[in-house]
Structure 1
Amino acid sequence: MLRVGAHVSIAGGIDNAVGNERAVGGNCGQIFTHSPQVWQDPNVGDEEAEAFRETTAEHLDGPWVVHTSYLVNLCTPKEDLRAKSLDSMQKEVDAADKLGIEFVNVHLGAHTGAGVEAGLDNAVSVLDELSIPEGVTVLIESDAGSGTKLGGDFEHLAYVLEESDQDLDVCVDTAHTFAAGYDLSTAKGVKDTVEEFDDVVGLEHLRCIHLNDSKHACGTNKDEHAHIGEGEIGVEGMETLLNHPELADVPLVLETPTEDGKSFEWNIERVRQLREE
């Protein structure tokens, strides 16, 4: 079964996300529990959590993903930022548990001069301090790899998964992966990238894909999303990804732009057109 959805708004209450997802044609999806630009608690009420769980069970196939705040930096060497990141992550996994959401997605962040290995070790140490509820899994998201940000190389993801005491998995963002230098624009490029991911990380750890095309060329480290099939990854790459047998059951979450008269609804329909059933 094709599970595809988008990152939708929770304006007016988290339970509104279900209707917002249905409105764009999605059967799974992703949310922020609060504004991602500030340090803020999820603040999920009992009634809206119950309504969210009930309407999700009634109308969607799932899963849902909680995307953490953009301020979270697991790799930081700064103690104050580390403490804030840990506190924020703990509140996100607790909120996911309350909402019945299976996945919490997080970027590793930037080492800001500490170095790659130290940055990855910092991330592992924060993750290992979390008390993750049963039924919730933290996903480490692949990154575009600009500056001192980590997660652009598959080896970074594998290191964190191997070194952490937690049972972690991975979310691959296609635009980020492409920007980080993994060519997804051709059938051969997709095949080679999937094989490399399997060799380095393991496909059993791939639990979600952020399906986004890229406005910039492969290896530029520039993170700007494009409509499905209309960016630098293009139709061949997207069609190959969507029909790769090893990826067929992985949930797809779109973070495509709203521009040129096209929004999530157009992009989800585009995915359905490119997927061979």
Structure 2
Amino acid sequence: MLRVGAHVSIAGGVDNAVGNEVAVGGNCGQIFTHSPQVWQDPNIGDEEAEAFRTGTEANLDGPWVIHSSYLVNLCTPKDDLRAKSVDSMQKEVDAAAKLDIPYVNVHLGAHTGAGVENGLANAASALDELDVPDDVTVLVESDAGSGTKLGGDFEHLATVLDDSTQALDVCLDTAHAFAAGYDLSTAKGVKASLTEFDDVVGLDHLRCIHLNDSKHACGTNKDEHAHIGEGEIGVGGMETLVNDPRVEDVPLVLETPTEDGKSFEWNIQRVRELRGE
């Protein structure tokens, strides 16, 4: 079964995300529990959470993913930012448990001069401070790798998974991986990249794919998403990826732009067409 959806709004209450997902034709999806640009608590009421859970069970196949705040930086050498990041992540995993959401997605962040090795060690130890509820898993997301941001290299993801005491898994963002130098624009490139991911991280750790095309060329480290099949990855790469049997059961969550008259609904339908549905 193809599980595909989009990152939808929770405006007016987290339970509204269910209807928003259904409206764009998705059967799984992703949300922020609050504005990702500020330090803020999820503050989800009991009735709101119950409506979300019952609505999801009745209308979607799942899973949902919570995307953590953009301010979280697990790699930071700064004690105050680390403390805020851990606190924010703890609230996100607790919110996930309340909503029966199995995954909380997070970028590793930037080492800001501490170096790759120290940055990855910081991330692993920060994640170790979390009290992750049962049935919730933190997903470390691949990154485009600009500046001192980590996660652009599959080895970075593997290191954090190996060094952390948490049972972590991975979210692979196609636009980020492409920007970081993994060529997903050809059938050969897709197959080679997935094989490398399997060798380095393990496909058994791949729990979600952020399916996004890229407005910029491979290896540019530029993170700007494009409509499915209309960016630098293109139709050939996207079609190969979504039909590769190694990832055919992995949920696909779109973070494509809403522009040029094309919405999430258009992109989700495009994915279904590429899968032959």
Q: TM-score normalized by structure 1?
A: 1.00
Render the CA deviation track for 1:22-41: whole Å, top value 9, x for unaligned. Answer: 00000000000000000000
Q: Does 1:52 align with 2:52?
A: yes
The separation in 1 between residues aligned to 2:276 and 2:15, in whole angstroms, is: 32
Structure 1 equivalent of residue 134 of structure 2: 134
Structure 2 residue runs without a partner (length 5+): none
The separation in 2 between residues aligned to 1:92 and 1:203, in whole angstroms, is: 25
Structure 2 equivalent of residue 224 of structure 1: 224
Render the CA deviation track for 1:194-239: whole Å, top value 9, x for unaligned. Answer: 0000000000000000000000000000000000000000000000
Partner AA of 1:199 in structure 2 = D
Structure 1 equivalent of residue 21 of structure 2: 21
Partner AA of 1:262 in structure 2 = K
The separation in 2 between residues aligned to 1:64 and 1:266, in whole angstroms, is: 20
Secondary structure in 1 matching 2:112: coil
The separation in 2 between residues aligned to 1:78 and 1:11, in whole angstroms, is: 33
Per the TM alignment, residue 55 of structure 1 is displaced from its structure 2 partner at its CA by: 0.4
The separation in 2 between residues aligned to 1:70 and 1:250, in whole angstroms, is: 24
Structure 2 equivalent of residue 93 of structure 1: 93
Secondary structure in 2 matching 1:216: coil
Partner AA of 2:162 in structure 1 = E
Structure 1 equivalent of residue 235 of structure 2: 235
Structure 2 equivalent of residue 103 of structure 1: 103
Render the CA deviation track for 1:30-85: whole Å, top value 9, x for unaligned. Answer: 00000000000000100000000000000000000000000000000000000000
Q: TM-score normalized by structure 2?
A: 1.00
Secondary structure in 1 matching 2:185: coil
Structure 1 equivalent of residue 270 of structure 2: 270
Structure 2 equivalent of residue 247 of structure 1: 247
The separation in 1 between residues aligned to 2:205 and 2:125, in whole angstroms, is: 20
Structure 2 equivalent of residue 166 of structure 1: 166
Task: Please tell me whether the aligned partners of residues 243 and 276 of structure 1 are also in contact (alpha carbons under 8 angstroms).
Answer: no
- Map 1:204-223 → 2, pairs under 5 A: 204-223=204-223
Secondary structure in 2 matching 1:87: helix
Secondary structure in 2 matching 1:27: coil
Per the TM alignment, residue 276 of structure 1 is displaced from its structure 2 partner at its CA by: 3.1
The separation in 2 between residues aligned to 1:65 and 1:32, in whole angstroms, is: 9
Structure 2 equivalent of residue 201 of structure 1: 201
Structure 2 equivalent of residue 30 of structure 1: 30
Task: Please tell me whether the aligned partners of residues 144 and 152 of structure 1 are also in contact (alpha carbons under 8 angstroms).
Answer: yes
Structure 1 residue runs without a partner (length 5+): none
Per the TM alignment, residue 175 of structure 1 is displaced from its structure 2 partner at its CA by: 0.1
Structure 2 equivalent of residue 114 of structure 1: 114
Partner AA of 1:242 in structure 2 = V
Task: Please tell me whether the aligned partners of residues 28 and 61 of structure 1 are also in contact (alpha carbons under 8 angstroms).
Answer: yes
The separation in 1 between residues aligned to 2:161 and 2:126, in whole angstroms, is: 13
Structure 1 equivalent of residue 10 of structure 2: 10
**What's the Cα RMSD here?**
0.4
Partner AA of 1:47 in structure 2 = E
Per the TM alignment, residue 118 of structure 1 is displaced from its structure 2 partner at its CA by: 0.2
Secondary structure in 2 matching 1:22: helix
The separation in 1 between residues aligned to 2:140 and 2:172, in whole angstroms, is: 8
Per the TM alignment, residue 243 of structure 1 is displaced from its structure 2 partner at its CA by: 0.3
The separation in 2 between residues aligned to 1:187 and 1:276, in whole angstroms, is: 17
Task: Please tell me whether the aligned partners of residues 65 and 104 of structure 1 are also in contact (alpha carbons under 8 angstroms).
Answer: yes
Secondary structure in 2 matching 1:113: coil
Render the CA deviation track for 1:66-122: whole Å, top value 9, x for unaligned. Answer: 000000000000000000000000000000000000000000000000000000000
